[in-house]
Amino acid sequence: MKRNTKKPGKQRKLEKNAALHQRQKKMSATLKPELKEEFGKRRVQVRKGDKVKILRGDKKGKTGKVERVNLNDYTVEIKDIERETQDQERVNIKFHPSNLMITKIDTEDKKREKKLKKDEIKEDEND
């Protein structure tokens, strides 16, 4: 998403009308310091199955497993982090990925693991 404007209204419009592949890139969270060293990256895209820690809000400090990533409204739902609705129904709280820290990356997807390792190798070659 190339942005040539500083106007807030146009910024919001670009984000609202972004394609899914552009939205996926915005769905990234910071990594735990140990993981930063391991992979040589500061941020990684959040995926279902990752373990995350909440950094902001009432639930600050709690950890859980990502249950759902919603690209349409840029939110992440975490298992067992819930609130009660007015009709006493339990629903997951939605978080923006910038308010989360990835503490454990789900490595079941071999392509994702390979990509993270590949990026690490590229950075070593550039040094």
Helix, strand, coil percentages, rounded to 5, for the chain = 35, 30, 35
Considering its fold, how many domains does the chain have in total?
A: 1
Residue 3 forms part of a structural domain: no
Q: What is the CATH number of the domain that holds 43?
A: 2.30.30.30
Residue 6 forms part of a structural domain: no
> 104: which strand partners?
51
- Six token digits for residue 95: 């978080």
- pTM for the model stands at 0.84
| Residue numbers of the domain that contains 112 | 11-126
> 45: which strand partners?
28
Q: How far apart are the first and last CA of the chain?
A: 29
Residue 28 forms part of a structural domain: yes
Q: What is the pLDDT along the chain (127 residues), one digit of tens a residue?
A: 666 889 999 999 999 999 999 999 999 999 999 999 988 899 999 999 999 999 999 999 999 999 999 999 999 999 999 999 999 999 999 999 999 999 999 988 888 888 888 766 666 666 6
Q: Hey, which bits of 3-74 come out as E strands?
A: 28-31, 43-45, 51-54, 63-70
